[in-house]
Amino acid sequence: MKKVVLGLSGGVDSAVSALLLKKQGYDVTGVFLDMGTGDLEGARAVADEIGIDFQTVNIEKKLSNLVMEPFIDAYLGGLTPNPCILCNPKVKFPALIKAADEIGAEYAATGHYALVDYDSTSGMYRLLASPGDNDQSYMLSRLDQRILSRLILPLGSYSKSDVRKIAWENRLSVASKPDSMEICFIPDGDYAAFIEKHRQIPPEGDFVDIHGNVLGRHKGIHRYTQGQRRGLGVAAGKRMFVLKIEPETNRVVLSDAEDLAVSEIHVNNLIWVSIKPPETAIDVDIKVRHTKLLYAGKVIPGARDTARVIFDTPVRMPAAGQTAAFYRDNVMLGSGIILRRESI
């Protein structure tokens, strides 16, 4: 019987993943990644209910050093990072792989909605988008071949409603448990309060238009993201958006929607997940946030893991610090971190 460790959070997705793996004949060990928050007792109860082994792995220190502190630094630098995308390759999956190695398990698994296969032509494992309604391949777009080669994603071919139905049919106690929508270490979703708790509160500063005219006062640059419209508190006679954030001058630049369309962005920390690094431009579909929207365009690799990303038609400007993921058909090819607009 093949062994697998499964990231078990106490939610419905990981619970159904455990159930499916057990029914497929795997020897499953549920692993709760303890970060000081989360539903430890709920995860333990799920493991008992399904009848699988259970253990905890403390990841607080690594999460703080590798994800939380960089998250705060990025926000204070005028960026809008996605900590879950960075946590997966740096903390979560390495912890699961290590737990697997310690008990002699060949595989690690999670309840993400995506698929992994092996392409014999290229000799590479590939990350594929889920055909269901809750594809999460974007959130896994920084994984490498070492992780993909050990990874099982039991929910890849299922929709969210399918998973709920399986939970109800098998009378799992978590069948009606709400999904968690926030960052794990900021469960209330208040990013600004989290940053203020861990660092000195950033000062107020000026809202300005694209010509430098002062429009009002902001409450600290950590409270704003590119593209934001709500909660600005500026009376400009028309709807205004955050165009860019300037940490050097402590200014937040506002504009109307006409300035928010871009035809090109730059990325760094470029990685290729499912293919070997291309030497020339390739046509791709581009996802710049965790939605279903894909934009046609191309990636032109540059020096030192950078690239230009060209859209066939202008798109609403994505926030600097977010991830741009590249697809061809349903294969997630790779990704890069979006640079600030003034870096382009």
User: What per-residue confidence (pLDDT) applies to 334?
Assistant: 97
Q: From the first residue on, what is the mean pLDDT of each consecutive set of 10 residues in the chain (344 residues)?
A: 94 96 97 89 94 96 95 92 94 98 97 96 96 92 97 96 95 88 80 89 91 92 88 80 91 83 94 95 95 94 94 92 96 94 48
Of 108, 201, 93, nearest to 139 (Cα)? 93
Indicate which residues carry an active-site annotation: 87, 184
Give burial (CB, 10 Å; 0-12/13-18/19+) of 300.
Answer: middle
pLDDT of residue 258: 67
User: Under DSSP, is residue 254 helix (H, G, I), strand (E, B) or coil?
Assistant: strand
Question: Alpha-carbon distance 210 to 311, whole Å?
Answer: 24
pLDDT at res. 344: 38
pLDDT at 240: 87
The DSSP 8-state label assigned to residue 66 in this structure reads I
Closest CA to 18 of 55, 46, 45: 46
Q: What is the pTM of this model?
A: 0.91
Domains of the chain: 3-169 (3.40.50.620), 203-255 (2.30.30.280), 260-343 (2.40.30.10)
Amino acid letter, residue 318: P
Q: What is the pLDDT of residue 341?
A: 63
Output the pLDDT for position 184.
Answer: 83
